[in-house]
Amino acid sequence: MGYYSVGEASMRGLELKVTARDISGWSGWLSYTLSSAKGTGTLPTAGSIDPENPGTKYRLPWDQRHTLFITASKRFGRWELNPSVEWGSGFPYGGPGNTEPDPRDPDVELPVFGPDGKQKSPLPNQFRTGSHLNVSLNVRYHLGNNSYYYLCIQNLFNRRDVLVKDLYDVTGAPAGFRGDHWEYVPISRLPSRFVVMGISRQF
């Protein structure tokens, strides 16, 4: 006895990259990616996104259309600065159908509202989260002999941009249940600011 996936998916993309080797002492690079991901399902062992139309391809949850990344580095004597900026457009969300069972009574169907406050259409993944911006900064103080102190700050401005929205949280709890309807709520955000300090030395 066995099983196999009959799903289909495709992804297309284009990446552009520009490298700067020395501009007033700065070096770095910039990259831009344009991509599109569509499929009938999100997992090899899962069913179709839209059971009513199993062969239809829809935008997949990781269909991030635009990404931009910039990083640069410069030495100031013993000091070295390395800022970086990552920007990405939103991710699709929203399951098929426009109703969801009432957690109190599974036989009762309640409407699912979109971000506009109106009942969504049956199409899956018709909404997108907002874009996200992540600025990081690495600072080094070189001691010589391939040793240096370092300070690394991820998400410098502590932005908590939403990456994923759903009706249920990661534990399966009905986070989007509102009594007489459902609505999509954030279940994943950019990690909060993270700071690392230390010393690196090569032997």
Sequence-distant (≥ 6) Cβ neighbours of residue 13 within 8 angstroms: 33, 34, 35, 36
- Nearest Cα residue to 160 out of 127, 137, 132: 132
- Nearest Cα residue to 127 out of 111, 149, 105, 112: 112
Contact 109, 98 (CB under 8 A): no
In degrees, rounded to 5, the angle at the alpha carbon of residue 32 between the alpha carbons of residues 29 and 36 is 155
Tokens of 144: 């010589």
Q: What is the pTM of this model?
A: 0.84
Distance of alpha carbon 3 from alpha carbon 47, whole angstroms: 12
Average pLDDT (58-75) is 94
Average pLDDT (87-101) is 94
For 15-69, the DSSP string reads: EEEEEEEEETTEEEEEEEEEEEEEES-SSTTS--SSTTSTT--EE-TT---EEEE
Q: CB atoms < 10 A from the CB of 6, how many?
A: 11
Q: CB atoms < 10 A from the CB of 37, how many?
A: 18
What's the pLDDT score for residue 7? Answer: 72
Average pLDDT (35-41) is 89
For residue range 98-142, list pLDDT tens digits in order.
999 999 999 999 999 999 999 999 888 999 999 999 999 999 999
All structural domains of the chain with their residue ranges = 9-201
Sequence-distant (≥ 6) Cβ neighbours of residue 151 within 8 angstroms: 137, 138, 139, 140, 195, 196, 197
Tokens of 199: 């010393």
